Chain A
Amino acid sequence: DTGVSQDPRHKITKRGQNVTFRCDPISEHNRLYWYRQTLGQGPEFLTYFQNEAQLEKSRLLSDRFSAERPKGSFSTLEIQRTEQGDSAMYLCASSHYTRKGAEAFFGQGTRLTVV
């Protein structure tokens, strides 16, 4: 399968713990996005990368959140000192920017539950 893959698929953690998620985009894609989706809502933009450069961060991304894409390939999203409000599905998507409106391909997400 050469789609976007995310690991882990599910994560249960205690409040206050740190968690890290990984996203492997489609190999030739230079853009990578992170979204957060809570129950009954549409995905909300968190941040995105073009190659290894993080070009934009949403105001939703507090100081406890950090994302990296060190070699322009896979990306990690870390949440420090997790809170119950962080419970959500975290989606990763990738696209190939050479033209306007390139389709974003989504992974199946990592479901985080903070207890």
Chain B
Amino acid sequence: AQSVTQLDSHVSVSEGTPVLLRCNYSSSYSPSLFWYVQHPNKGLQLLLKYTSAATLVKGINGFEAEFKKSETSFHLTKPSAHMSDAAEYFCVVSELKTSYDKVIFGPGTSLSVIP
């Protein structure tokens, strides 16, 4: 069975400082991994995805994530936080299983950015 753990329910950073949002997963198969962002009263938006190509994935708005199979991790980083980055972030695993896959969300990490 697949599962996703986001180690921090809430992260607070100062504007201009680095962001690290942690994600660990378990999967019986070779998974695809995603990060989604959800701003208040907005739909979920894809930040980036890993699908067995390069292990370092670059996404929108300066975010990137590194897939580390040995650590079963897919942490999200950004060198310098911006006020507009304040939102809820979800790590997501999609597992190819026979002829279909299923998308499982982690519990989310709320990011606050302090001016």
Contact of B100 among A4, A43, A50, A103 (CB under 8 A): A50
- Do most interface residues of chain B lie in helix, strand or loop, or is the interface mixed? strand
Contact of B108 among A41, A56, A93 (CB under 8 A): A41
Provide the residues of chain B in CB contact with A35, threshold 8 Å.
105
How many A-B residue pairs lie within 8 Å, measured between CB atoms?
A: 61
Cα(A108)–Cα(B40), bound, Å: 11
Is B7 interfacial (CB 8 A cutoff)?
A: no
User: Are A100's CB and B42's CB within 8 A?
Assistant: no
Evaluate whether A100 and B51 lie within 8 angstroms (CB atoms) in the complex, with A42-B108, A107-B43, A109-B43 already known. Answer: yes
Provide the residues of chain A in CB contact with B46, threshold 8 Å.
103-105
Cα(A57)–Cα(B28), bound, Å: 20
Chain B residue, CB-CB nearest to A105:
B46
User: Are B43's CB and A108's CB within 8 A?
Assistant: yes
User: How far in angstroms is the closest Cβ of chain B from A16?
Assistant: 28
User: Are A108's CB and B42's CB within 8 A?
Assistant: yes
Interface residues of B (CB under 8 A from A): 32, 34, 36, 42-46, 49-52, 90, 94, 96, 100-108
